[in-house]
Structure 1
Amino acid sequence: MFDSRHIKTFHEVVTRGSYSAAARALGYTQPAITQQMKALERAVGVPLFTRVGRGLRLTEAGEALARHAETILDSLGTAQRQIGALARLQAGRVRVCAFPSANATLIPAAMARLLADHPGIRVELLEAEPPESVQRLLRGECDIALAFQYPGVPAAELPPELVETPLLEDRLTVLLPVGHPLARRHAVRLADLADERWIAGCPRCRANLLHICADEGYTPDVVFTTDDNLAVQSLVAAGVGVALMPSLVLSFMCHAKVTGRLVEPHQHRRVTAYVLREHLRIPATALVLDELRRAAAARTGC
């Protein structure tokens, strides 16, 4: 294994033509140059120089190394500059995998601030519902995963290498068609929706609906199931049924013929960011995570 310092010194010796000239150029003593060249020769296993009179001549091995030395040093310099840019947050790529409503709300707010302060950071957005988003993180397909969990629905045990960062509690509202008798209320009790038809969402959302309705003593009559938030609202607007919708969704999408009302008792889902513990040491990943926390805090406060 070559020491890059020795390669740099070797290149100076070849360029300057002598140990003494290389020592003056590098600010070393001549014995220090001699010791470095001896160490380099031990590393390559053959002599690199022969003395001719008071001068130096490259051996065949020395000529071979000289042909590559400048390329090696250029490559090392390029690598150092690129790594320095990553450390100074002047460059970097972060892959974020999130569920649709987070990609439409938290991500834009976080990315706007990030790109204003660090335009060299590039973020790639992927989309997946939990638990698939977390599985993609564990498979190395993304650097940060956003997921949600309902309090009453059992969560899978996560491996210890994952770091969990709570972002916000996303309140649930019931969607009713405009003109529904319960739409006149500020909040709607789940118990009063026992006779309604329901439109359910993703598997986790459906499981939560079944769980909270069971706590109220009934099984909801689920007539449609779809992951499409716009389709859910359109079905409610058409009078097909009612639905539970997270506040994140309602903040960017609201059908004109649908109204949302708070649910009693209070219901929410917990939105969390996950990252591999060792990736917290990567500056760009840590920065994106910080911006997601700030975007979530701003939304919580409004």
Structure 2
Amino acid sequence: MPLDSDTDITLDLQTLRIVRAIAETGSITGAARALGTTQPAISQHLHRAERRLSMTLVVKQGRSVELTDIGVLLSRHAGGVLDALQAASIDLAGAANLRSGRVRLAGFPSASSTLVPHLLSGMRERHPGVAVQYTESEPPEAIELVVSGDADIALVFAYPGERGATHHPDSPRGLSSTDLFIDPLFVLMSREHPLAELPHLPLEDLEDDPWIAGCPRCSTHLIRACEDVGYAPNVVYETDNFSATVGMVAADLGIALVPRLALGTTLLPPNVVVKKLAAEITRTISVVVPADKRSLPAVAALTDAIAAIDGMIWRVRAAQGRPELTHNARPRTHDERRYDVTRG
């Protein structure tokens, strides 16, 4: 049949299945049997396809049919297309049932040594077919990774008054942010510090102390908190390496404001104590996900695992001044979710 300007050469999957079945069985009857349908249904579908394509796919040879050159050409392509479709269906079913898949997580340093190992081991135990990739990044960079599509989920923190992640100006799609828990900050100081015996430290009483500041956002928050009580802190050292911070405090080089999570896996030296502030300073730990990815099975599974972090309690061991991760299986009240810190 000659082609004209109105010829529709769009192919449908059923035509591909029929042509391949005829090539494999040598007849319309055999194709009908292989596809679980009837001979008239196969014949009618072929006639409609030939009219739409303006091409002849089969010709009669006595009581049988034979594929034309066009039909043979189509059958060769049909094998690859249908095999690829079947492979895609298998992969999709595996992802839907969490037998396969990939999810990319970005998180801040103090989460890397505390929350993230529990998340990764839990995912491996519950969904061994799902690959979880992890990148350590401070919150602004982690959110950028989510916005650019290089990460699926970001664990972030924010101090009071900071702009939320869902208002990111460059986001091509909506970001969904869910608060997980409040992470209080404490003062690390030498046991020999004149105020080390106080049960709670007023921040305003630390005006004359040298400070060891952390990451840029943490340093900015320290300065803002001190300015709120009437002074500019004397920041003498800056490091985002928590072990270095502890070492400096142990050497009595200064004091530091540190979040509870940063204390999670660190054994403090005997001469370093963890002190509560009289007026609590906190940050909020949140999870950020693109709104259009929340329903993806692997992303949803990891998001659910992150949401379950609320079932973990961090406590500071009295003998060591180090938080201890325990698991509370029963639902807890709001007051029970607060963290307990005893004097080191």
**TM-score of the superposed pair, with normalisation by structure 1:** 0.94
For residues 223 and 284 of structure 1, the distance between their equivalents in structure 2, rounded to whole angstroms, comes to 45
Matched, 1:177 2:203: no
Amino acid at match of 1:269: R
SS at match of 1:120: coil
Partner in structure 2 of residue 270 of structure 1: 284
For residues 192 and 102 of structure 1, the distance between their equivalents in structure 2, rounded to whole angstroms, comes to 30
For residues 102 and 42 of structure 1, the distance between their equivalents in structure 2, rounded to whole angstroms, comes to 63
SS at match of 1:181: coil
Given candidates 12, 19, 25, the residue that maps to 1:3 is 12
Matched, 1:38 2:39: no
Partner in structure 2 of residue 225 of structure 1: 238
The within-5 A match list for 1:1-302 is: 1-42=10-51, 44-153=53-162, 157-158=167-168, 159=171, 161-256=174-269, 257-299=271-313, 301=337
Change (3 A) 1:43 1:149: farther
Structure 1 residues 151-160 or 108-117, which shifts more? Answer: 151-160
> Per-residue deviation at 1:217?
1.0
Unaligned runs of 5+ in 2: 1-9, 315-336, 340-344
Contact preservation (8 Å) 1:233, 1:254: no
> Per-residue deviation at 1:186?
2.7
Q: CA RMSD in A?
A: 1.8
Contact preservation (8 Å) 2:16, 2:75: no
For residues 45 and 269 of structure 1, the distance between their equivalents in structure 2, rounded to whole angstroms, comes to 68
SS at match of 1:299: strand
For residues 197 and 293 of structure 1, the distance between their equivalents in structure 2, rounded to whole angstroms, comes to 38
Contact preservation (8 Å) 2:27, 2:66: no
Contact preservation (8 Å) 1:153, 1:208: no
Structure with the larger helix share:
1
> Per-residue deviation at 1:198?
0.3
Q: How many residues align?
A: 302
Change (3 A) 1:89 1:50: same
Amino acid at match of 2:74: L
> C-alpha offsets along residues 26-78 of structure 1, whole Å, 9 cap, x if unaligned?
23122211122234435654211111222111111111122232222222111
For residues 272 and 249 of structure 1, the distance between their equivalents in structure 2, rounded to whole angstroms, comes to 16
Contact preservation (8 Å) 2:19, 2:74: no
**TM-score of the superposed pair, with normalisation by structure 2:** 0.83
Amino acid at match of 2:304: D
Contact preservation (8 Å) 1:6, 1:37: yes
Higher RCO by CA contacts (8 Å cutoff, separation 6 or greater) = 1
SS at match of 2:149: coil
> C-alpha offsets along residues 128-172 of structure 1, whole Å, 9 cap, x if unaligned?
112111011101110001111110445573356100011111110
> Per-residue deviation at 1:178?
2.3
Change (3 A) 1:251 1:186: farther
